[in-house]
Structure 1
Amino acid sequence: MKTDDLIAMLASGPDVAAAPPPGARWRTAATLGAGLLASVALMAAWLGVRPNLAQLALRPDFWIKLAFVASVCLAAWHASRRLGMPGANTGSLLRWLALPLLLMWLLGAAAIATAAPELRAELFWGTTWRSCPLLIALLSLPVLAAMLRAMRQLAPTRLRLAGAAAGFAAGGAAALVYCLHCPEMAASFIGFWYVLGMLVPAAIGALLGPKVLAW
């Protein structure tokens, strides 16, 4: 049997499973933890935590917002991790990313449809639409740098897609940090302006992926 045939047989065998290199999980956790702490420190020093955060935490829509952002962040992180392992199954990644987005969009659409006409614009625009996406994008930069550094320790092959997933995960993490400052609660606002802020680092990651993640 030729060497190339043996390699092909082993690679296509049923017992072969994609796995990160030894020690990658600990290095990744340390790298991402440092990026997240930097984002939290930037938010606290620049924007500050809302003084009425304890009162906001008593509202169900606050926890809906947190659950949405956390779900998007975890789904994007899972996608970036799978894209960093050659041969890993990536067929269901889009569904995991789309599910929290669709649920929040449906919730926001229902809220606008049932609201009084004079309140619908406020539910969508809120009071911080001009700054919200930009602030999320800026807070995501330390996490994005950490995500890309962590992915360099893996072996992504679809570099642009892997970079976009890393950027979207960084945007989700930054949005989670931004929740400690943001006063907005409407599902329609969160589903559009928060997601817009997450898409900025996703676009940056897609641009940087072929250059930063090449191996």
Structure 2
Amino acid sequence: MRTDDLVGLLSTGITPLRRGTAARRFGISLPIATLGATALMAMVFGVRPDLAAVAKTPIFWEKLAFPLCLAIGALIATVRLARPGAKVGAGWPFMTTPVLVVWIAAVVTVVTAAPEDRLPALLGHSWRSCPFNILLLAVPGFIAVFWAVKGLAPTSPRLAGAACGLLASSIATVAYCFHCPEMSPAFWSVWYVAGMLLPAAFGAVLGPKLLRW
């Protein structure tokens, strides 16, 4: 078989993606992820009653900025990995920098706290449930983002699946911030990160199965 014949055989039945397909698919999936996580948070956990007061404090916005920056990085990575042969690229700084900043803040918080306050700063009141709460809120986004990427052409399905999971979980964590009473960077550095990594791990496992094309 000649090379031209082989190329023609392999390309049979393949239709090129229309311009703007990625933007349309993510334009659908991201609102579903955001609205789904927010609605679940409000229905299952409820908005914290002192939100109006705490929203006036810088620490609340710092807490919100942490998963928001991760969501931006995960979105960049997911969009790039949905293309054939692309790499994470510019998504890495957006994903790693906020984690490093929060870890540094956590170390400072723990070191400067009184000895009896160090463990409470790390565990808070909800360490047992926090990661699983984030996992629950990530479910709508997990499904929606995987749908968006499935319709494109990822060639690294495991890495793309992990990025999908991280995007869904970071959006879920932004929504969870409006319920969660924990205001210590030491808490976020462990339990928020664990909550965001769980869907990312599931995405890495399921990516090769769900993102095949």
The TM-score normalised by the length of structure 2 is 0.88
| 1:120 paired to 2:123 | no
Report the Cα offset of residue 58 of structure 1: 1.5
- The percentage of aligned residue pairs carrying the same residue is 45
Is the contact made by 1:164 and 1:209 (CA closer than 8 Å) also made in structure 2?
A: yes
Structure 1: runs of 5 or more not aligned: 8-18
Indicate how the Cα distance of structure 1 residues 30 and 96 shifts in structure 2: closer, same or farther if over 3 A, else same: same
Shift of 1:154: 1.6
CA distance in 2, matches of 1:98, 1:138: 24
Q: Does 1:107 align with 2:105?
A: yes
Q: Number of paired residues?
A: 201
Flag the 1:130–1:50 CA change in 2: closer, same or farther, 3 A.
same
Which residue of 36, 46, 66 corresponds with 1:68? 66
The alpha-carbon distance between structure 1 residues 207 and 34, as it changes in their structure 2 partners (threshold 3 A), is same
Match of 2:12 in 1: none
Partner in structure 2 of residue 30 of structure 1? 28
Match of 1:188 among 167, 186, 189: 186
- Contact 2:162/2:203 (<8 A) preserved: yes
Return the offset for 1:21: 4.2
Per the alignment, residue 57 of structure 1 pairs with 55
1:90 shift after superposition: 3.1
Query: Are the aligned partners of 1:20 and 1:154 in contact in 2 as well (CA < 8 Å)?
Result: no
One-letter identity of the residue aligned with 1:43: M
The corresponding residue for 1:133 is: 131
Aligned-pair distance for 1:3? 7.6
Equivalent AA in structure 2 for residue 119 of structure 1: D
For residues 96 and 123 of structure 2, the distance between their equivalents in structure 1, rounded to whole angstroms, comes to 23
8 A Cα contact 1:20 1:85, kept in partner: no
**1:94: how far off?**
3.1
Matched, 1:86 2:84: yes
- Misfit runs of 4+, over 2 Å: 19-24, 87-96
Aligned partner of residue 156 in structure 1, secondary structure: coil
Q: What displacement does 1:35 show?
A: 2.8
Q: For the residues of structure 2 that align with 1:153 and 1:159, how far apart are their CA atoms?
A: 12
Opposite residue 199 of structure 2, the aligned amino acid is: P
Q: 1:20, 1:68 → 2: CA distance?
A: 35
Whole-Å separation in 1 of the counterparts to 2:184 and 2:23:
36
Residues 81-133 of structure 1: CA deviation (Å, up to 9, x unaligned): 11111243534443332111001100110111111111111110000101111
Deviations along 1:37-69, whole A, 9 cap, x unmatched? 122111111111111101111121111100111
- Given that 2:135 and 2:169 are in contact with CA atoms closer than 8 Å, whether structure 1 keeps it comes out as yes
Aligned-partner residue type, residue 50 of structure 1? R
TM-score after normalising by structure 1: 0.87
> Which sits farther off after the overlay, 33-42 or 62-71?
33-42
Q: Quick one: distance in 2 between partners of 1:27 and 1:160?
A: 20
Cα distance, 1:81–1:98 mapped onto 2, change above 3 Å: same
Cα offset, 1:23, TM superposition: 3.2
Unaligned runs of 5+ in 2: 8-16
